[in-house]
Amino acid sequence: MAKAKTQFVCQNCGTVHTRWAGKCEGCGEWNTIVEEDPMGGIGSGPGKTPKKGRPVTLTSLSGEIEEAPRIPTGMSELDRATGGGFVRGSAVLIGGDPGIGKSTLLMQAAAALSRQGHRVIYVSGEEAVAQVRLRAQRLGAAETDVLLAAETNVEDILATISEGKRPDLVIIDSIQTLWSDTADSAPGTVTQVRTGVQAMIRFAKQTGATMVLVGHVTKEGQIAGPRVVEHMVDAVLYFEGDRGHHYRILRTVKNRFGPTDEIGVFEMSDRGLREVSNPSELFLGERNEKSPGAAVFAGMEGTRPVLVEVQALVAATSLGTPRRAVVGWDSSRLAMILAVLEAHCGVKLGQHDVYLNIAGGYRISEPAADMAIASALVSSLAGLALPADCVYFGEISLSGAVRPVSQTAQRLKEAEKLGFSTAFLPSASAELPKGSRGRWTEIESLPDLVARIAGSGNRFRQAEEDE
């Protein structure tokens, strides 16, 4: 009889090792390798022979396309992030830092769907029934018909939600607490998480119920457990925000039934999460228009234009190595902008500390913010306040050229709506609004931008002297 084999699996990244080791070779983490029994594949185990498969029907790519049936929640920001609502029979994974508001968001969504007549089941594996009821009372959801259970066993959960009428929405909070009798591992391990998620997804596909799974995140901000879980589900959403600010952002990372770059903006209050229909006003609410080093960036999040203030502080340093501190942007891209400013514009920042902050705790990922960052840096170094009614966007290349970005018209329309009358944008930009080209300042290269900022500062000082 063949000897049963065991394998050693890293609980952080899922890498399989042949023997135990203190450090995982896949992710470099220490003390994350645990011995587990393999789940078994095709024909595995002593005395088993591979089962003969049956042929399936092949079809072509052409044919009728049916729109995915959705369940709108009535929360416009949540529906925007999911692409129009939850798709029936899909599995959605939501991650976020502890205490960021994941359970609050899902309780409000469950209550909204229950008011529409949908059957919603909320399964909590981390909180008792009394704790969930307290949250529901605070959010005004206690009077709804949301069904509640506190259970962590996968088989018991499936038996419970299979009874009676098919549920429209099932919320599992969270997947790290699930455990199954079929896996000989502790709850939270890679084997248990994978087994529990597979069982929940199988139920969703077979019954047409929408399954929403809550996942813990690591210190790097990634959903804990094997990355295969993110591949198994249909959509992955991250609920993020800064504890020091009252806003929260629901960001779509993966969506098989909709766009992957949409966001929903919420504001945290004592009554739960409030939807923010115009996030630009939120990020520009406390703006100081006369302060040097502040520029307004016209960005895009999916189909939504967002205006946010970029703040820069350049100060002389007494240290041998100047400091570079970045909050809300890529530090490597800041180093590139500083190098281009010094190489092509003669702006010397090697003896200055540079601090960069995106107002409101917002995070920017698109390269279109390069021009706004460069403008804020030059403004802070020269001590000149930028025009209060101007926005900036454009990508800067290593040669100093300013490259055009997409969705120019949407950015300018959002700026006009909020009272910004001028804009600095790339010279080759397309889709400019007709009849208003004279108000836009087209920039071909970074030296041209620096010269215009310096020229506007000279005109401003001359106006003050004349007064």
Residue list, annotated binding site for ATP: 96-103
Q: Please tell me the distance from the alpha carbon of residue 216 to that of residue 175, in angstroms, as a whole number.
A: 8
Which amino acid is it at 310? V
Answer yes or no: are the C-beta atoms of 394 and 404 closer than 8 Å: yes
Residues 52-73: b if buried by 16+ CB within 10 A, e if exposed: eeeeeeeeeeeeeeeebebbeb
Residue (of 238, 201, 245) closest to 221 by Cα position: 238
CA separation (Å) from 386 to 278, 352, 403? 24, 20, 22
Query: Six-digit token pair at 10?
Result: 């890293």
Bridge partner list, 91: 211
Measured between alpha carbons, how far is 63 from 262 in angstroms, rounded to an integer? 29
DSSP readout, 234-267?
SEEEEEE--TTSSEEEEEEEEETTS-SS-EEEEE
Which phi-psi region, left, alpha or beta, contains residue 190 (left: φ > 0; alpha: ψ -120 to 50)? alpha
CA distances from 392 to 119, 321, 372 (A): 48, 30, 5
Token readout for 288 is 């100081």
402-403 and 395-396 as β-strands: parallel, antiparallel, unpaired? antiparallel
CA 356 to chain centre: 21
Q: What are the φ/ψ torsions at residue 205 (nearest 5 degrees)?
A: -70, -35
How far from 141 is each of 90, 135, 276, 446, CA to CA, in Å? 25, 8, 20, 54
- Contact in structure between 311 and 294 (CB atoms under 8 Å): yes
Per DSSP, what are the bridge partners of residue 443? 426
Q: Which residues pair with 417 in a beta bridge?
A: none
Annotated binding-site members: 96-103
Instruction: Report how far apart, in Å, the C-alpha atoms of 12 and of each of 216, 328, 335, 393, 447 are.
Output: 12, 26, 31, 39, 47
